Chains A and B, each alone.
Chain A
């Protein structure tokens, strides 16, 4: 069933508020999404009816909390096609999930002379951990280039994935260009070379159907807060055998089996990677967000965003804006970075803010990509289930005003 954004909007209390005295036009969901009542109420219900620590209490309340937490884990696994809850580790978010792989898998397996491959379009969260790894291990960090259309240079794959490659780290969807990357082809190339592939799914998972088996991903990370869930929760999916072999990440309670004064053994997966009391309510909220998106239908989400993105790309082209990234909505998501004449993105963001429009301006945590594009900054509008063509119209009118100031 197609998504009716006007109906969806009613689920989001914040959209009833105003910004600068105007109707709130929220176009920064690539940064963080707004939250539907269903998710907010689920978190409140948890604290009001189920709150206890997990995996500890023998009392009924503890059982309820554990059931809620583990139910969320199952939902988050199902959402990305994972076969077992054992392959789903709760983290603080995508960034922590990627760093978990750096510390618990890569640090003892990547050595001097080895290579880690990232791409020119990675968010800093899928770049800096690998820079740090390269510095501490002596491994070489390589960057798969993009072409002028903002797509990965797949023709260079043979040159960049070799028998020295140990890990390929790539986002499924770019947070700047919106590009959807051909993960399966990258995974096949990585696996043929004996390497593993880590997929940053932060931008993709909220917006399109993901199946980790179809992608053949070894690691897949995504965040709650970009998909209608609360901040402070995210997931690392990893193949079970990898989690079994990996070193622990943080040490502390919950992640242990037996402890002696000078040593310990580890809990079974995924608990081996969840030291300390987890963000239980946040995880439960993330599970509720999964349920909410499944209720709408993730394919309907994608179709809606393709429609609105096509509309926005057309309007921006008419206004003479330069848009970065693919022009075909089949190859991109609803994140649209652009520049408009002589108006600096910051000035643009300030001026459209006066009209109640929230857009992002800056380098979007992707400075190397900005250099590749040859711009210091871009403006970015990103769309989600609650956005309408009317939102795009308000943006375009506001951009017109910006041009008036600086044109």
Chain B
């Protein structure tokens, strides 16, 4: 028997980002727009990025999905705005490892995002939490291939 506490999954910060998402909507102008979904559950996400040099100058998201996928995406945009491509990539990789249970997550690096860790105990929901981050990694790769200004 596995008793889980919903409070671990639905932490206040997650509910807050779900109810009041940050950086939601289209970003214009943008350098990269990617649309990705979770085929199993129907979560849909659009991610917009604008770069200034090697830094993420602007990032927004839009889409439909459960609280975990939308809150994760919202928190992600807040956290990576202003970061360099390299740092953002490292952060996304770290979050993925944390969600895979491979690492605890460096508090200095991930900050508030540590609240996503509760999802690890809900294996079917991990893909919800990672939709935004996986899309970000793809977008960063696409963005890093663009022509310098």
Q: Which one of B62-70, B89-97, B101-109 contacts A?
A: B62-70
Q: How far is the CB of A338 from chain B (nearest CB, A)?
A: 15
Question: Once the chains bind, are B122 and A350 in contact (CB under 8 Å)?
Answer: yes
Q: How far is the CB of A18 from chain B (nearest CB, A)?
A: 6
* Inter-chain contacts of A18 with B (CB < 8 A): 1
* Inter-chain contacts of A370 with B (CB < 8 A): 42
Q: Which of B1, B41, B122 contacts A363 (CB 8 A)?
A: B41
Bin chain A's interface residue count: 10 to 19
Question: Once the chains bind, are A347 and B42 in contact (CB under 8 Å)?
Answer: no
* Inter-chain contacts of B3 with A (CB < 8 A): 20-21
* Inter-chain contacts of B40 with A (CB < 8 A): 362
Q: Using an 8 Å CB-CB cutoff, how does the interface string of A317-350 with B read, 1 for contact, 0 for none?
A: 0000000000000000000000000001111001
- State in angstroms the CA–CA spacing of A351 and B5 once bound together: 10
Question: Once the chains bind, are B64 and A376 in contact (CB under 8 Å)?
Answer: yes
Question: Once the chains bind, are B1 and A376 in contact (CB under 8 Å)?
Answer: no
Question: Once the chains bind, are B4 and A354 in contact (CB under 8 Å)?
Answer: yes
Q: How far is the CB of A351 from chain B (nearest CB, A)?
A: 6
A-contacting residues, B1-42, CB 8 Å? 1-4, 6, 9-10, 15, 18, 40-42
Question: Once the chains bind, are A362 and B66 in contact (CB under 8 Å)?
Answer: no
Question: Once the chains bind, are A346 and B41 in contact (CB under 8 Å)?
Answer: yes
Listed in ascending order, the chain A residues whose CB lies under 8 Å from chain B are: 18, 20-21, 344-347, 350-351, 354, 361-363, 367, 370, 376-377, 405-406
Known A21-B3, A377-B43; further 9 A-B contacts with Cβ < 8 A: A20-B3, A346-B41, A347-B68, A350-B9, A370-B42, A376-B42, A376-B64, A377-B41, A405-B10
Residue pairs across A and B with Cβ atoms less than 8 A apart, 17 shown, are A20-B3, A347-B10, A347-B66, A350-B122, A351-B6, A354-B4, A362-B40, A362-B41, A363-B41, A363-B42, A367-B42, A370-B42, A376-B43, A376-B65, A377-B41, A405-B6, A405-B15
